[in-house]
A = this chain, B = another copy of it.
Amino acid sequence: MSKKITIVGAGLVGSLLSIYLAKRGYHVNVFERRPDMRKAKTMAGKSINLALSDRGWKGLEGVGIADEIRKIAIPMYGRAIHHKDGSTAYQPYGKDNQAIYSVSRAEINMRLMDLAEQQPNVEIHFSERCTTIERNKLNAHFENAESKKTSVVQSDLLFGADGAFAASRLNMQLTSDLFEYNQHYIEAGYKELIIPAGENGSFLLEKNALHIWPRGSFMMIALPNMDGNFTCTLFLPFEGEKSFANLKTPEQIKAFFETEFADAIPLMPTYIDDFIKNPTSSLVTVKCFPWTFDNKIGLIGDAAHAIVPFYGQGMNCGFEDCVVLNDLIEKHDSASNEVKNFDTVWAKILSEYKTLRKPDADAIADLAIMNFIEMRDKTADPKFLLQKKIEAGFSKKYPDKWIPLYSMVTYSPDIRYSKAFNEGQRQESIMQKVMAIPEIEKKWDTEEVENEILKYL
């Protein structure tokens, strides 16, 4: 008899995980709190566009669905910087062929649900809110949002993939001694706006770039969508001089945009209405531990480690969780799916999963916070840009000695986030010495500078 697995949450990670587990022969039931978004699209105004990169692609390739997703993804090869004076600059994200891919959260989620449901042993149940999990019997309780009917689902294994404010995690927090938990909001919130498509669905900005309007303490970004428009996101402090608190009236909003984003205004005909209509959302980092309980409950994706979006790694990290888990299933050979083995095998898988993965989740959480400062502030700083240019030049000449941090995180799934973090710290301390060389602006591409870096390595 096939073992039964319950997944709470049919978001990006829950949907992908269901495919991985289905391919292992398990019977998977996924319970999603919201209604089926494929029938009633109600995501507008609160979804940062996502940037799919190599860790995410690897996760999709692992179950053979990367090509399906590629159809809805737009490559972005670099950052297009929009300065306050209207001038622009371009910073490549990596080598020539390296890109991150803009996808709409709703689009990719719907595709993943379709692909999950194509598995004969996956069922997704919608509008089912998890109310409690009885740990001793592994009974998950759900309440249907429409009918208000409650149901109890017993299974052999349960994953909580229900996001940053996971009901599954809360259930564990309230029933576990020694549960470490931390939720932290950054001082900035975000609001979604839009640059609509031009005539015949044309792109009014460079299509294959991530656009940034860096303004020091805040920024706006824009990512391309398939139909020619761009999803814009304004990241801005809640309080203070330049803040959401001070942008309440159409006049205030207009004056702010005219000062800060003058070049964007002609592209954003509805920005004042959108600003008033769309919600202001917050950005949370959640760290917790452990991620597994009773050898048969696991947390995955944002439920285990919600991060801020500034490294474009939230979804990628969640997909990589699935890869790590799948590798451990492979390692411990639960593929046999024998009844006698199941409990001991999964005890090992979950134990290694949490130990192996936790430092990587912590690392990308911290990197994501740090990248907010880089994006909003440093991308407009000539000294920072010079530093990146020196690193890129050195890396090109000595690819074995130096992979830039961004490339490690984004294009190198074989390098763990925690390794990338440590290596990035080391690189930064070297580059601080290099940038302190007198007249570095003049001799940045000399052998002297190159030898200096080699000396420190």
Contact = CB atoms under 8 A, between A and B. Distances in A.
A282 B177 contact: yes
Contact of A181 (B174, B177, B181, B238): B181
Interface in A400-443: none
A147 interface: no
Interface in A119-173: 170
A1 interface: no
A107 interface: no
A257 interface: no
A178 B184 CA distance: 8
Contacts of A170: 174
Interface in A259-293: 282
A456 interface: no
A178 B185 contact: yes
A282 B183 contact: no
Nearest to A182: B182
B183 A181 contact: yes
A35 to B, nearest CB: 22
A43 to B, nearest CB: 19
Residue from A170, A183, A238 with most neighbouring chain B CB atoms (10 Å): A183
A143 B282 CA distance: 34
In the complex, the count of this chain's copies comes to 2
Interface in A279-327: 282
A180 interface: yes
Contacts of A180: 183-185
Contacts of A398: none
A182 B185 contact: no
Residue from A174, A178, A182 with most neighbouring chain B CB atoms (10 Å): A178
Contacts of A181: 181-183
A179 interface: yes
Contacts of A174: 170
Contact of A183 (B179, B184, B185, B238): B179
Contacts of A179: 183, 185
A282 B178 contact: yes
Contacts of A282: 177-178
Contacts of A238: 178
A179 B286 CA distance: 12
Contacts of A185: 177-180
A185 B181 CA distance: 9
Contacts of A177: 185, 282
Nearest to A183: B181
A44 to B, nearest CB: 20
A179 B183 CA distance: 8
A282 B180 CA distance: 12
Which 8 interchain pairs have the tightest Cβ spacing?
A182-B182, A178-B185, A181-B183, A177-B282, A178-B282, A180-B184, A180-B185, A180-B183
17 contacts: A170-B174, A177-B185, A177-B282, A178-B185, A178-B238, A178-B282, A179-B183, A179-B185, A180-B183, A180-B184, A180-B185, A181-B181, A181-B182, A181-B183, A182-B182, A182-B183, A182-B184
Given A177-B282, A181-B183, 11 more contacts: A170-B174, A177-B185, A178-B185, A178-B238, A178-B282, A179-B185, A180-B184, A180-B185, A182-B182, A182-B183, A182-B184
